[in-house]
Amino acid sequence: MSLSLLSTKGSAKATGPGRHTFKNAPRVLVIGAGSRGSAYAVGTLRATNCRISAVCEPVPYKRSEFGRKYIWGTDKPNHGEQFEHWRHWVEYEESRRFREAAGEKVEKGVDAVFVCVLDELHEEVVCGIAGLGVHICCEKPMSTSLESCMNIWRALKGIGVEAENGEVKQKESIFAICHVLRYSPHNLMLRQLVLEKEVIGDVLSIEHVEPVGNWHFSHSYVRGNWRKESTTAPSLLTKSCHDIDFLMWMLCSPPPSKTEPHLPSFVTSTGSRKFFRKARKPEAAKEATNCLSCPHEEKCDYSAKWIYLDNNLNLGNTSWPVKVINPEIEQLYKTSGKQAAAKQLLSDLREDYTSETAVEEVEARAWYGRCVYEADNDVVDDQCVTITWDDDPLPQDGDSSLGLKGRGAKTAQFHMVAFTEKVCQRRGRIYGTKGEIEYDGKTIKVYSFSTRKTNVYTPQTASGGHGGGDQELARQFLMAVEAVDSQGMSAADAHGKFLGCDLDEAFRSHAMVFAAEEARKDRKVVDWKKWWSAEVEGQLHSTSGKGQQKG
């Protein structure tokens, strides 16, 4: 899983893998044809010779566009290549298997599924398809509540599903969560330098920042789909769960991967909705609730017209974030030109709701022209999380006092902040016993206490989202799938070799987010082990759990 370093001295670059060709390429279904579904489709086709075989998407235009780009091209879709709802695909697949078992010649089924629906639908979809035994890669977060994540864990483990002899069925299938920060060339090199080459000795602390970007936060977390905790989840989960996972990956799981994880001791967090609220509204905006009718619009940093029209569409960008507002604008721009696309965009931005609009209608969709100070958002826009580890040496030959290598006391400090120029370009510092590291997603600077020199490492520049993490995750997931299906490798071994993460580890990092949110809301320090015992351990292995599967 680690990239190879060309040199460990002076400036260095990392080499990454090329396109992987399978002898028996897995066939892929994408559930959810939005931006994330498209990202993994592109990653799959660029990184492997796998075929995108089918798509499930309720919006007709998005479904047909996805199919045209990645499945059937200019031809008409064949039977079994498109579905309006994921349940329709399940019905189709069950019928296909029944016909195949009866000896009928049928079309091939899919081997792997990318689940890219809205966060609050993850439990419904993953639990709904888990029984089919297909390999699943689920967009982050796993789900929107601790209870829901536990329901997914149980479904994937087969808990509550009994065989005829009364034993629990355990299906050999791959499950990956899209914690894409683990798979970017930059972060793979960073982890290799820190944990394998130990260039700064034992880690003592990390400061990690996710700069969300001021206009990006307003787009997704004030006006957009992730603006309300009641309908989605806290912003620490929806935006930064893979940052928490990154810290757990760096500090809990030193190589080799089979080493017992060094679990945290305590977690605390502070944060609030500091800026995007009515009390901060400029006086010049008066009573306006929509940018296109606001007298302050031209001077506002969060002008929807400036963000979407001036700074994107007028510059020729019709993809994200413009196509999020209206997915048909991209095609309109191509067929009718910029002026027609701009007219449609402005029409969409003028859409608004009033105090008399039903709450259900307001929460059912995003409103991208809405004044950021008048929106119904409630998620945190600035948050800090501190995770601490105590000394926890592993026994060696019966003696637990033989050193703390990789398992000494340490601290991780994470800051998610909306008000930045950079958009999701993470940065941080790692402090060790022999030096320190500075990283920014492009370069890694290592300072040695002994030599008093700085070595600069430049990881391979990768295409695609998250510094190449999207594409590399797709590759590694499909390599794990093929290893299980065609090479007879166990799912456990494939998780370790290709993904570096299994269901238990993915669940644990999500649990840390929920523990941090409890710490923030209750203004307390959470004892991790006690919290896990009280909130997770008993319910995780229950056949009923705290709640039931949705759907």
CATH number assigned to the domain comprising residue 42? 3.40.50.720
Both 91 and 176 in one domain: the answer is: yes
Tens digit of each residue's pLDDT (9 = 90 or more) over 350-364: 999 888 899 889 888
419 in any annotated domain: yes
Helix, strand, or coil (residue 419): coil
Q: How many domains does the chain have?
A: 3
Both 176 and 312 in one domain: the answer is: no
- Residue 289 identity: T
511 in any annotated domain: no
Where residue 19 falls among pLDDT bands split at 50, 70, 90? confident
Identify the weakest region by mean pLDDT among 7-16, 118-127, 219-228.
Answer: 7-16
Tens digit of each residue's pLDDT (9 = 90 or more) over 481-504: 999 999 999 999 999 999 999 999
Where residue 550 falls among pLDDT bands split at 50, 70, 90? very low
Where residue 539 falls among pLDDT bands split at 50, 70, 90? confident
Q: What angle do CA 125, 127, 131 make, to 5 degrees?
A: 115
Q: Is the pLDDT of residue 280 over 50?
A: yes
- pLDDT at 159 (0 to 100): 66
Where residue 461 falls among pLDDT bands split at 50, 70, 90? confident
CA 525 to CA 389: how far, in whole Å? 13
526 in any annotated domain: no
Both 144 and 173 in one domain: the answer is: yes
Question: What is the chain's mean pLDDT, rounded?
Answer: 90
CA 147 to CA 433: how far, in whole Å? 39
Supply the range of the domain harboring residue 410.
182-276+378-463
User: Rounded to two decimals, what is the model's pTM?
Assistant: 0.91
Cβ-defined contacts of 270-273 (< 8 Å, 24+): 270/383, 270/384, 270/520, 270/523, 271/236, 271/380, 271/382, 271/383, 271/384, 271/416, 271/520, 272/380, 272/381, 272/382, 272/383, 273/377, 273/378, 273/379, 273/380, 273/381
* 375 vs 161 pLDDT, higher one: 375
Both 286 and 253 in one domain: the answer is: no
Q: Quickly list H helices, 176-284.
A: 185-191, 214-217, 235-238, 241-251
* 163 vs 479 pLDDT, higher one: 479
Closest CA to 129 of 169, 86, 99: 86
CA 483 to CA 486: how far, in whole Å? 6
Q: Is the pLDDT of residue 402 over 60?
A: no
Both 289 and 391 in one domain: the answer is: no
- Share above pLDDT 70 across residues of the chain, in percent, rounded to a whole number: 90
In this structure, what CATH number is given to the domain that contains residue 189?
A: 3.30.360.10
Both 261 and 244 in one domain: the answer is: yes
Q: Is the pLDDT of residue 424 over 80?
A: yes
Cα-Cα-Cα-Cα dihedral of 317, 318, 320, 322, to 10°? 110
Tens digit of each residue's pLDDT (9 = 90 or more) over 243-271: 999 999 999 976 665 678 999 999 999 99
311 in any annotated domain: yes
207: enclosing H helix or E strand: strand 203-211
- Share above pLDDT 90 across residues of the chain, in percent, rounded to a whole number: 83
DSSP lists the bridge partners of residue 113 as: 29, 136
Q: Residue 488: which region, alpha, beta or left (left: phi > 0; alpha: psi -120 to 50)?
A: left
Identify the weakest region by mean pLDDT among 137-141, 418-422, 500-504.
Answer: 500-504
525 in any annotated domain: no
Both 239 and 260 in one domain: the answer is: yes
- Residue 61 identity: Y
Both 153 and 286 in one domain: the answer is: no
Tens digit of each residue's pLDDT (9 = 90 or more) over 182-240: 999 999 999 999 999 999 999 999 999 999 999 999 999 999 999 999 989 999 999 99
Q: Which of 404, 435, 463 is the last residue of a domain?
A: 463
Q: Is the pLDDT of residue 114 over 60?
A: yes
Closest CA to 45 of 520, 475, 548, 479: 475
> Which residue matches tokens 């059937």?
72
Q: Say if residue 437 is exposed, middle or buried (CB neighbours under 10 Å; 0-12, 13-18, 19+).
A: buried
Both 340 and 350 in one domain: the answer is: yes
- pLDDT at 18 (0 to 100): 72
Look up residue 27 and give its two tokens.
């066939």
Q: With beta carbons less than 8 A apart as the criterion, state whether 123 and 100 touch.
A: no
Counting every residue written for the chain, the total comes to: 551
Q: Which of 408, 433, 463 is the last residue of a domain?
A: 463
- In the chain, count of helices (H) and strands (E)? 19, 17
- pLDDT at 398 (0 to 100): 54
- pLDDT at 350 (0 to 100): 97
250 in any annotated domain: yes
- pLDDT at 50 (0 to 100): 96
Both 62 and 146 in one domain: the answer is: yes
Helix, strand, or coil (residue 486): helix
Report DSSP state, residue 112.
E
Q: With beta carbons less than 8 A apart as the criterion, state whether 190 and 178 touch.
A: no
Between the alpha carbon of residue 357 and those of residues 285, 290, 361, 364, 424, the distances in Å are: 22, 15, 7, 12, 34
CA 134 to CA 37: how far, in whole Å? 17
Q: Rounded mean pLDDT of 397-423?
A: 84
Q: How far is CA 542 from the centre of its chain?
A: 27
DSSP of 324-378, one letter per residue?
Answer: HH-TTHHHHHHHH-HHHHHHHHHHHHH----TTS-HHHHHTS--TTB-TTTS---
Tens digit of each residue's pLDDT (9 = 90 or more) over 292-342: 999 999 999 999 999 999 999 999 999 999 999 999 999 999 999 999 999
Question: Measured on CA atoms in the order 270, 276, 278, 284, is the torsion positive or negative?
Answer: positive
109 in any annotated domain: yes
Q: With beta carbons less than 8 A apart as the criterion, state whether 97 and 68 touch.
A: no
Both 212 and 259 in one domain: the answer is: yes
493 in any annotated domain: yes
CA 363 to CA 368: how far, in whole Å? 13
Both 84 and 15 in one domain: the answer is: yes
Q: Regarding beta strands 27-31 and 51-56, do their DSSP bridges make them parallel or antiparallel, or are they unpaired? A: parallel
CA 100 to CA 106: how far, in whole Å? 6
Q: Is the pLDDT of residue 546 over 50?
A: no
CA 433 to CA 200: how far, in whole Å? 6
* 230 vs 524 pLDDT, higher one: 524
- pLDDT at 399 (0 to 100): 56
